[in-house]
Amino acid sequence: MIFPAIAQRLVDNASLPILSASLMNPTPDNITFSLVAQLKVPAGVTVDLKPMTLNLFTNETSPSDPYIHVNLPEYHLKGNTKVEVINDTAQILNQTQFENFLSYAVDSKEFTMQAEGATAAYLGILKAPIKLNKKVQMAGELKLIPETYINRLTNSGNRFKFHSRV
Cα 35–44–81 angle (5° rounding)? 10
Encode 129-150: b = buried (16+ Cβ within 10 Å), e = exposed: ebebebebebeeebeeeeeeeb
Listed range (94-98, 127-131, 145-149) with the worst mean pLDDT: 145-149
Q: What is the pLDDT of residue 143?
A: 57
pLDDT in tens, 49-69: 999 999 998 888 888 889 999
Q: Tell me: the pLDDT tens digits for 68-113?
A: 999 999 999 888 889 899 999 999 999 888 888 888 877 778 888 8
Domains and CATH numbers, the chain: 3-142 (2.60.40)
Q: What is the pLDDT of residues 11-36, one digit of tens each?
A: 888 778 888 878 888 788 898 888 88
